[in-house]
Amino acid sequence: MPRGESDHFSIFADGIIIQHVGAVREPPDGVYFHGNSKKMTDAIGEVVNTSTTEIVGQCRRNGRPPAFGSFIQVGVEICRIGVVYNVETTSIDPNRRPSALGLSEEQLQRSYPQLSSLLRSQFQALLIGWLSDNRFVYGLPQTPPSLHAQVQPCRDEVIRCISRDLGFLRLIYASGKSATEDLLLGVCRSIIEAHERKRTEAVRVGKAVSELYRDDYDTLKRFITRLESWL
Amino acid sequence: MVVNRENHSHNLGVITAGSLAEGLEMRLDPAYAVEQVRAGKFVVVEGSEFDFFSMITDVCLDASSGAILRDPPRRSSLLDDVLAGDHTYATISLKPMLMLQRGVAGERFDREEHLRPVKSIPVHFSTVREAGKDDVNRVFGEESVTQTRFFNLGAPLDMDNVEVCLDLDRFIERSNGIFGKTGTGKTFLTRLVLAGLIRSHKAVNLIFDMHSEYGWETRAESGPGKDAFVKGLKNLFPGKVLICTLDPDSARQRNVSFDLEVQIPLNEIEVEDIAPLQEELNLHPTAIETAYILRNLFKKNWLKKLLDTDPAEMKEQAEQWGANKESLAALYRKLRAVRDLPFVVDKTETKAEGEITLTASIRRIIEELRGGRHVDLEFGRVSGMLAYLLVANLISRRIHHEWVKDAEKYMATQKLEDRPRPLLITIEEAHKFLNPAAARQTIFGVIARELRKYFVSLLVVDQRPSGIDDEILSQLGTRITALLNDEKDIQAVFTGVSGASALRNVLATLDTKQQALILGHATPMPVVVKTRTYGLDFYRAMGWESKEEKSLRLGRITAGLPE
Ligand SMILES: Nc1ncnc2c1ncn2[C@@H]1O[C@H](COP(=O)(O)OP(=O)(O)O)[C@@H](O)[C@H]1O
Ligand SMILES: [Mg+2]
């Protein structure tokens, strides 16, 4: 047991998941996130394209793609963190473009049961930092995540750790991705949902965003009002 | 100070701008709610080399962009909370009053040497914190350390167990004023200050007690002890205070004793005693000239002669005395009011106690004052302005005269035992004595202007300082001011004070009771206090004890036990 005495489960920065046997008890301070020892079933996808700025992940068959604006983690030795900024579903065979069938979902299921195996979902995630020594460091990693690495959704504990310092919001803001505002909004929502005290967290996140839109009150106002509608 | 947000810190904010002339600007830390920041609060700006002791003079709402103000967020919406503190914030104006080299503390610290007037301003982003007990003690001294010099007058705003002290040595070096509109606590403040002076033996007091509220118990009008009786100076210092009265019946009715009854025989009233009544009696200057004519003719009996004249014979008398008929008639009509005063008697009366002459009464008062006792002259039910003006001026004139003689003797001999005791004369409704016209005629104008050359100074108590002559106002060393609303009065209090504009705000925002701004000679910097409560704790601090306590203590002494 490398760290922590009786954590129920822990994943450390290196991504190793340990299941502790014994009493379930609140974990100590620091980075501690309960993982599931059956790592493979936890993964939502696999890295199929990688760079130091972003990755493309392919969803597991029949798996649900991650939500826009949600946090993902990838890598065992170094655990990189990203946010999902695009999800798309295309045909497996690049030469066969899907065309409209004009059927209801039910009919579709009945007539083309094999359809889902002909399609694939991919998601793109912007890398925003990595976990190191129980802490989240924001910025771009020196090396990209490896191809075929498993991609997992971040658990609430991890998100809380990541969002202790909200400086990474600026990376997203400055990423030049389309619909940045909505991406930020999605990320903020993910952060707030990982917290108990939603209102307090919303104010904190809102203040960080207000720094980004310092000179654009109209956008800020719209942004915060949208955020508020979710609370 | 209550903190309404998380991340409590003791730092109120940081300095963002400022100038020596205009004072400093502080950005309020978002952890503090602007509504908790009060004008008049005592704070410390921690510069890099100096601490600046400062007062909050204004609180102002600001926004980082005009756009926010054009389209304001809904109250308590998420946007409102997000903007609060960062984009919408409070700017606090501070007025630095004193500076102190940082790190000078403990034994090395010397008030006179190290507290300096502000000659510079702190560096950018200096932090501002609430003042602590140590800061206050360093600036204002501590009563417990040197009981006779410092007198605790109250606590700074939001700092209940801390004392702000008056430096009594400095207080008695000048004439002083206590101001505030009716019901704000002037009488209570005056009683406090007088008690402090009595206990310290720094000066003797002569109090013209218009409403008979300083000597014996009086009723409190409000507060927790509403309608309870509060003790007077005679209760607290029975052996040191002499009660004189103009209305012995009132004293008997209130069932209190007095030491001396004062009567004023007509033949002891001089023209100079009448002259200051011009405004009150609506006397024409020619009437005063007429009075002088009579005085030259009849000497001491001028007034009696005038008032004994048959109105029907006024014309003949005027011709005979060489006076203007109209003036004489007017003088007669108006001065009849003087004769009607209950304590004005036709001639020296002889009573069981012996002869009561004014001269004798005044001699007694002077002896008591010289002996270090304090004199409270009660007016009883004789509460009119005419009586007050006449008596206060008449008696003070005679006493001042004696003090001048004493002082001259001291200057000649230069012997310490000849040094007159400093005398402080307390007058209420001071604007009646010290308005620009009266100030030239009353003895009080003289006293205020001669700056204690003869060891006499004034404690003026007034709700309308704007009525007082500017020149006199600017001579007042220490001004203790409760709430004033009238713009003219506020301005008057700051006559002769440099950089007062910032303090005006502070004065106008005081509570309606038991709060005062102290400014001037007896404190190193202006400060707002919650006035010390005049009640049991205070009596005890002055050495008073209840009957039971006293008998208990005496019993212990006779039994040979420690007190
Ligand atoms: N220092 C004080 N301690 C206790 N009560 C006070 C004090 N100052 C003011 N008060 C309350 O306020 C009332 C009005 O004060 P007072 O001195 O009579 O006002 P003013 O003389 O200005 O008209 C008092 O009767 C008393 O109840
Ligand atoms: Mg009063």
Within 8 A of A211 by CB-CB distance, chain B residues are 86
Residue written as token pair 């006493």: B399
The model carries a pTM of: 0.75
Q: Label the pairing between strands B176-179 and B456-462.
A: parallel
- Tell me the nearest-neighbour CA distance from B123 into chain A, angstroms: 26
- In this prediction, residues A75-85 reach a mean pLDDT of 88
Considering CB atoms only, which of B64, B79, B81 is closest to A221?
B79
Q: What is the mean pLDDT of residues B157-164?
A: 85
Q: What percent of chain B has pLDDT over 90?
A: 26
- In sequence order, the 6+-apart residues with CB closer than 8 A to the CB of B477 are B170, B171, B173, B174, B175, B176, B520, B521, B522
Number of neighbours of residue B183 by Cβ within 10 angstroms? 14
Per-residue pLDDT of B3-26, as tens digits, reads: 343 333 478 999 999 999 889 999
Select from B231, B221, B191 the least CA-distant residue to B207: B191
Contact: B82, A200; criterion CB under 8 Å: no
Residue with tokens 């506020």: B490
Name which of B4, B29, B81, B88 to mutate to probe chain A: the one with the most chain A Cβ atoms within 10 A of its Cβ.
B81
Ligand 1 pocket, B186 CB below 6 A?
A: yes
Q: Which candidate from A211, A217, A224 shows the least CB-CB separation from B78?
A: A224
The pLDDT, as a whole number, for residue A24 is: 32
In sign, the C-alpha dihedral spanning B49, B51, B55, B56 is: positive
Amino acid of residue B127? T
CA-based nearest distance A124→chain B, Å? 31
Higher pLDDT, A127 or A117: A127
What is the Rg, in whole angstroms, of the alpha carbon atoms belonging to chain B? 28
Q: How far apart are CA A16 and CA A1, in angstroms?
A: 11
> How far apart are the C-alpha atoms of B203 and B172, rounded to whole Å?
7
Report the SS3 class of residue A75: coil
Closest to A207 (Cβ–Cβ): which among B6, B67, B82? Answer: B82
On whether the CB atoms of residues A98 and A32 are closer than 8 A, the answer is no
Cβ pair B456, B406 in contact under 8 A: no
Q: Is residue A132 classed as helix, strand or coil in its secondary structure?
A: strand
Query: Could you tell me which residue, B160 or B460, shows the higher pLDDT?
Result: B460
Residue located via tokens 């997000």? B82
Question: What is the CB neighbour count within 10 angstroms for residue B421?
Answer: 16
Whole-number Cα distances in Å, B552 to B463, B540, B561: 44, 15, 11
CA distance B461 to B175: 11
Band (A22; pLDDT cuts 50, 70, 90): very low
Please name the amino acid found at residue B122. P
The per-residue pLDDT for range A124-177, each reduced to its tens digit, is 999 999 988 778 999 988 889 999 999 999 999 999 999 999 999 999 999 888
Ligand 2 centroid distance, CA of B478 (Å): 19
- Phi, psi (degrees; rounded to nearest 5) at B463: -100, -5
The dihedral built from the CA positions of residue B182, B476, B54 and B58, taken in this order, carries a sign that is: positive
Determine, for residues A206 and B79 on separate chains, whether the beta-carbon distance falls below 8 Å: yes
Query: Residues B484, B490: contact at Cβ < 8 Å?
Result: yes
Residue B140: its pLDDT value, please?
Answer: 86
Distance CA B499, CA A159 (A): 55
User: Do the beta carbons of residue A171 and residue A139 sit within 8 Å?
Assistant: yes
What pLDDT, on a 0 to 100 scale, did the predictor assign at position B355? 54
Report yes or no: B81 at the A interface, CB cutoff 8 Å: yes
Query: What pLDDT, on a 0 to 100 scale, did the predictor assign at position A198?
Result: 93
Residue B110's CB is within 10 A of a number of other CB atoms, namely 9
The single-letter DSSP state of residue B268 is: G
Q: What are the C-alpha distances in Å from B384 to residues B209, B250, B258, B361?
A: 12, 15, 21, 22
pLDDT digits (tens, 9 = 90+) for B329-373: 888 888 888 888 888 887 655 555 555 567 778 888 888 899 999
Distance B461 CA to ligand 2 centre (A): 9
CB count in 10 Å sphere of residue B538: 18
Query: Rounded distance, CA B480 to CA B531, Å?
Result: 10
> Is B77's CB within 8 Å of A228's CB?
yes
Q: What is the C-alpha separation between B388 and B378, in angstroms, rounded?
A: 10
Other residues' Cβ atoms within 10 Å of the Cβ of residue B8: 12
Alpha-carbon separation of residue B494 from B463, B473, B498, B509 (angstroms)? 14, 8, 8, 15
CB contact set of B468 (below 8 Å; sequence gap of 6+)? B430, B431, B434, B435, B439, B460, B462, B492
Domain ranges of chain A: 5-230
d(CA A61, CA A195): 31
CB atoms within 10 A of CB B39: 21
Cα–Cα nearest to B333, from B298, B275, B282: B282
- For the CA atoms of A96, A101, A105, A106, the dihedral, rounded to the nearest 10 degrees, stands at -110
Ligand nearest to the CA of B535: 1
Q: Looking at ligand 1, which atom is closest to the CA of residue B186?
A: 22
Cβ pair A215:B64 closer than 8 A: no
Answer whether B183's CB lies under 8 Å from B221's CB.
Answer: yes
pLDDT of res. B348:
57
Q: Are B425 and B394 in contact (CB under 8 A)?
A: no
B172 pLDDT exceeds 70?
A: yes
User: Do the beta carbons of residue A181 and residue A216 sit within 8 Å?
Assistant: no
Q: What is the DSSP letter of B266?
A: G
Do the beta carbons of residue B510 and residue B516 sit within 8 Å? yes
Tokens at residue B508, please? 């106008």
Burial (CB count within 10 angstroms: exposed 0-12, middle 13-18, buried 19+), residue A135: middle
Give yes or no for a contact between B90 and B37, defined as CB atoms under 8 angstroms apart. yes
B325/B308 Cα distance (integer angstroms): 16
Least confident window among A42-56, B137-151, B249-263, B265-279: B137-151
pLDDT, tens digit, for every residue of B33-75? 888 888 888 999 999 999 999 999 999 998 988 899 998 998 8
Q: Using CA atoms, how far apart are residues B145 and B106, in angstroms rounded to an integer?
A: 14
What is the widest separation between alpha-carbon atoms in chain B? 93
* B240 in Cβ contact with B369 (< 8 Å): no
**Runs of H (alpha helix) within B88-132:** 111-114
Q: How far is CA B489 from CA B188, B465, B493, B504, in A?
A: 20, 5, 6, 10
Q: Which two tokens stand for residue B432?
A: 């009646």
Q: Which residues of B188-212 are buried (b: 16+ CB within 10 A; e: fewer)?
A: bbbbbbbbbbbbbebbbbbbbbbeb
What's chain B's average pLDDT?
A: 85
CA distance B33 to B50: 28
pLDDT score for B78:
92
Of residues B210 and A178, more confidently modeled: B210
What is the identity of the amino acid at B58?
D
How many whole angstroms from A99 Cα to the centroid of ligand 2?
96
**Under 8 Å between Cβ of B268 and B401:** no
- Inter-chain CB proximity B81 and A218 less than 8 Å: no
Residue B321 pLDDT exceeds 60? yes
Dump pLDDT digits (tens) for B87-117: 999 999 999 999 988 877 777 777 777 888 8
Task: Please state the separation of Cα B75 from the chain's center in Å.
Answer: 45
Q: Is the pLDDT of residue A31 over 80?
A: no
Q: Give DSSP secondary structure letters for B10-26.
A: SEEEEEEEEETTTEEEE
DSSP assignments along B281-312, one per residue = HT--HHHHHHHHHHHHHHGGGHHHHHHHS-GG
Q: How far, in Å, CA of B286 to CA of B294, rounded? A: 13
